[in-house]
């Protein structure tokens, strides 16, 4: 747990630095100097008033010199990054499994970085609705194992194509919105004649806590259109049995949740996706971090 606390604290510091970046970069100012100062009275912030998260709480969200309010954005960004670092430490820093066995001796204690993804969307709509066709490419982050009871993924390249639609609940909850989407994934061929292409359906509810801070929660359903059931794997040819975890004809539900922060020129986000139910699949939790950039083609 010491490693979790240490990396969580380090995350708070990184979050504090990100606040500097978020504030200064859009203004074209240096992120190195001068020292941080109050945006209202201009007084330089003392070192003991610049402790991530703690100082904002002790100062009750106000400047020590002029009592001007300090935006809640600052502690929220620090907290979000700190929690993300702590979660990563908890999941990836080697610790003894609850079983008491040596790590991986029971083949049920696997954690790893999994995939990188890049996607593009084109948005149609106005302030109340949006329709966004999208293309997404997923590539493994490294050559990780794809065999065993608790593999993190199939180590496969994928090309996804689909569309998302969103509606703002203006008359009921002005700051809330609902979103739904569908993508079809073209997955690389595993064995000759078998390509585990899949469909993904997403649904989510989101709420804008502030003009820049947005939270959401929902669900994901995935179905693989070809492959083998867990029962069929046992009677499959040797070349297919060795690729069993890539060939499984999976169906599963995952919950989804996350938070995003808009810097004006980009959105920074973190998300979590725990397994809920499925057939011929694996249990687990996925964590995602990334950024979204916007381009205006109307000019």
Domain locations along the chain:
2-88, 107-293
String of DSSP letters for 207-221: EESSSSEEEEEEEEE
- Encode pLDDT of 3-44 as tens digits: 667 778 888 888 888 888 888 887 788 877 888 888 788 888
Residue among 78, 88, 90, 27 at smallest CA distance from 50: 78
Residue 201's φ and ψ, nearest 5 degrees, are -120, 130
Tell me the C-alpha to C-alpha distance, in Å, between residue 61 and each of 68, 79, 181: 8, 15, 39
Question: What is the distance between the alpha carbons of residues 165 and 170, in angstroms, rounded to a whole number?
Answer: 16
Architecture of domain 107-293: Beta Barrel (2.40)
Question: What pLDDT shows up at residue 97?
Answer: 44
If one counts every other C-beta atom within 10 angstroms of the C-beta of residue 281, the result is 19
Long-range contacts of 288-294 (CB under 8 A, 24+ apart): 288/258, 289/84, 290/117, 291/266, 291/267, 292/260, 292/266, 292/267, 293/265, 293/266, 294/265, 294/266
Helices (H), the chain: 2-24, 54-58, 73-92, 230-233, 238-241, 244-247
Distance CA 107, CA 158 (A): 26
Q: What percent of the chain stands above pLDDT 90? A: 24
Residues near 147 by beta carbon (within 8 Å), at least 6 away in sequence: 242, 244, 245
Cα Rg for the chain, rounded, in angstroms? 23
Cβ neighbours of residue 239 under 8 Å, at least 6 residues apart?
191
Q: What is the DSSP letter of 253?
A: E
Question: Which of the two residues, 240 and 297, has the higher pLDDT score?
Answer: 240
Average of pLDDT values for 134-160?
84
Residues 178, 168: Cα–Cα separation, whole Å: 7
- Interatomic CA distance for residues 245 and 67, integer angstroms: 59
Cα distance between residue 203 and residue 7, in whole Å = 33
Q: What is the pLDDT of residues 83-124, one digit of tens each?
A: 888 777 766 665 544 444 444 444 455 667 788 999 999 999
Q: In the prediction, which pLDDT does 16 show?
A: 86
pLDDT at 298 over 70: no
Which 8-state DSSP code applies to residue 237? -
Distance CA 282, CA 127 (A): 40
Specify the pTM: 0.65
Residue 280 burial (CB < 10 Å; 0-12/13-18/19+)?
Answer: buried
What is the rounded average pLDDT of the residues 138-149? 80
| Residue in this structure with the two tokens 């292409």, named with its chain if needed | 197
* Closest CA relative to residue 153, chosen from 165, 169, 141, 170: 141
For residues 19 and 45, what is the distance between their CA atoms, to the nearest angstrom?
Answer: 14
């Amino acid at each position: 747990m010491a490693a979790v606390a240490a990396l969580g604290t380090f995350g708070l510091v990184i979050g504090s630095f990100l606040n500097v970046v978020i504030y200064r970069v859009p203004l074209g100012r240096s992120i190195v100097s001068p020292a941080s100062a109050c945006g209202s009275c201009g007084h330089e912030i003392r070192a003991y008033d610049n402790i991530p998260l703690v100082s904002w709480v002790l100062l009750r969200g106000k400047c020590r010199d002029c009592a001007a309010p300090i935006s809640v954005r600052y502690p929220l960004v620090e907290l979000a990054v700190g929690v993300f670092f702590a979660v990563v430490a908890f999941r990836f820093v080697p610790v003894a499994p609850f079983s008491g066995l040596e790590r991986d001796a029971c083949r049920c204690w696997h954690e790893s970085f999994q995939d990188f993804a890049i996607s593009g969307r084109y948005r149609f709509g106005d302030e109340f609705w949006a329709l966004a066709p999208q293309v997404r490419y997923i590539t493994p982050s490294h050559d990780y194992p794809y065999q065993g009871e608790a593999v993190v993924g199939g180590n496969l390249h994928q090309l996804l194509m689909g569309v998302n639609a969103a509606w703002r609940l203006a008359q009921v909850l002005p700051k809330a919105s609902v979103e739904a989407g569908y993508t079809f994934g073209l997955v690389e061929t595993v064995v000759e004649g078998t390509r585990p292409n899949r469909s993904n359906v997403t649904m989510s509810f989101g709420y804008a806590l502030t003009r820049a801070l947005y939270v959401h929660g929902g669900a994901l359903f995935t179905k693989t259109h070809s492959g083998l059931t867990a029962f069929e794997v046992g009677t499959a040819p040797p070349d297919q049995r060795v690729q069993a975890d890539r060939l499984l004809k999976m169906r599963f539900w995952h919950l989804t949740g996350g938070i995003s922060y808009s810097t004006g020129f980009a959105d920074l986000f973190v998300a979590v996706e725990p397994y809920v139910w499925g057939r011929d699949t694996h249990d687990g939790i996925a964590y995602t971090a990334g950024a979204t950039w916007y381009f205006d083609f109307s000019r």
